[in-house]
Structure 1
Amino acid sequence: MGWRQRVTTTQPGEPLDSIELPDPPATPVHRWGFGAFLVVEAVLLASAAFVSVLAGPVPAGAQIPVRDVLIGTITPTVLAALVAVLITAWRGNGPRIDLRLEWHWADIRLGLKLGVLGLVLTTVSAFIWTQAVGEHNATSAIGALVEDQPMSLTAAVIMFVYLWLLGPICEEIIYRGLLWGAVERLPWGSERWTRLAAFLLSTAVFAVSHLEPLRTTLLLVIAVPIGLARLFTGRLPAAIVAHQMNNFLPALTLLLTTLGVLTL
């Protein structure tokens, strides 16, 4: 329900009058929905397939070059996120409004707390999952890549920054931003059920979209604290921070493995 403001005015020699002003205009509803999300997913998958063919295979035993990290791993996700932002500018009110990209320190603090919770939950779940499926089957796609072939130090540092900081921003724009906003446009009924539906669907799609069937259950567990950050605050930055916190240890493990400090 909107609010109405009452203003009192006086005229010389006249009694006080009350004037009821109309509701202020609501934020315009964006004109994009699930079609926009499908376009972004298509860009992500098509660009990943294209750059993998363009880069070509790395010779056995050779180091993974910086070019392959930048083009093969980072470019598809960044490109898809940029397309999502452009769609909000073209068919909506821009990323700040449509994707709820408004920064509040309270959101950052909550994101950090849920990120720490996610780290603990992920660590415990990963241990249980590894015991259930075996260490080799529990390895992520990035982990398998490093395990099969060495990575140059420069490439490892770039991958560390991407996995820890840039990747979560791009993925949250796509899933807890664009997909979440698409779900919110549907007539679910109350706002409470709409947000719950957005949380559940974005969590499930996020897990499945990694295309790692054996790890889908684990990815669902990982995604829950991140989705809760978006659900509790109603904005995207909290989810970004929670995602970055969750990715810190895996990214650090990859870097330390490249330096020879750890072995996978």
Structure 2
Amino acid sequence: MTHSRPYQWLLTHQRLGHTLCVVLDSENERQMRQTLLKNSRPHQYLSVYGQTMVADLCDAGPFVFTVNPGDKNVNELLMRPDSDWGWLASVPKGHMPMLVEHWRKRLIIGDRPHQALYRFHDNRVLAKALRHLPVESYPSYLGPAISVCYWRGACWECTDNPVPGTCPVPDFPLWLQLPVAPQQAMKTRLINAHRFLLAEHLQAYAQLAEQQDPQIWLRATLDQAEAWNWLAPAPLEFLLTQSLQAPAQTLAPHWQARPDETPDEHFERVRLATQSWQGGAPQ
């Protein structure tokens, strides 16, 4: 049975007296989250985004639940690993809040205003990190987790932390220097761009939302940024704000890239032309 290995892992760590946790991607598992919430006491779960600067995203953020091996909801998750619902962790008894606090400190990556959320709760992100990290980096990545169990594409993997405990966040975390999958990069950009527009251009963003689905518009704009390779902070912010202000959110023909232009030359040409037409001096 495909779920026999994680079940044995759960039983082993239960016998050792550890607390067992499900790290759940509640954005894609809302029904399971509600079921677990209904069957849990207040001290048996925490929202990771709660009590952080992204608390407004709690409903779409990860939750951590303490569970038992025989829980029917846990068995259901183990039966469908391909749905990428999250992963399992074993921590010292009563240390579930420490696990949540560990990830809260690693949640926001980048510098303002170009911050993003690290999707640690995605089993694919965890699996990739553990596949590339040296063992000596496991403690700073896994923190109080004694061991983790996760689906890695075609099979279950279990990884032990050699030195579980509280670790400071490194100045240059190795797990943030791994290559990012295109789908994951786009999801991060979508969240980041949405938060940027809410913070800096709320009125214009709200007006756009009255005319069309802002998520569809945002995805199309980010697709354009990707096509032009305008993914650095300056050109991406420029494209977002100018697209928002353009009549009917349609950019003028001179915005199109020319065959002989590099992305930097393209951006600089359009930026200078826009400043000239808007009556501003070049920066």
Q: How high is the TM-score relative to the length of structure 2?
A: 0.20
Bigger fraction of residues in strand: 2
Q: Which has the higher relative contact order, 1 or 2, with Cα contacts under 8 A spaced 6 or more apart?
A: 1
Bigger fraction of residues in helix: 1
Q: How high is the TM-score relative to the length of structure 1?
A: 0.21
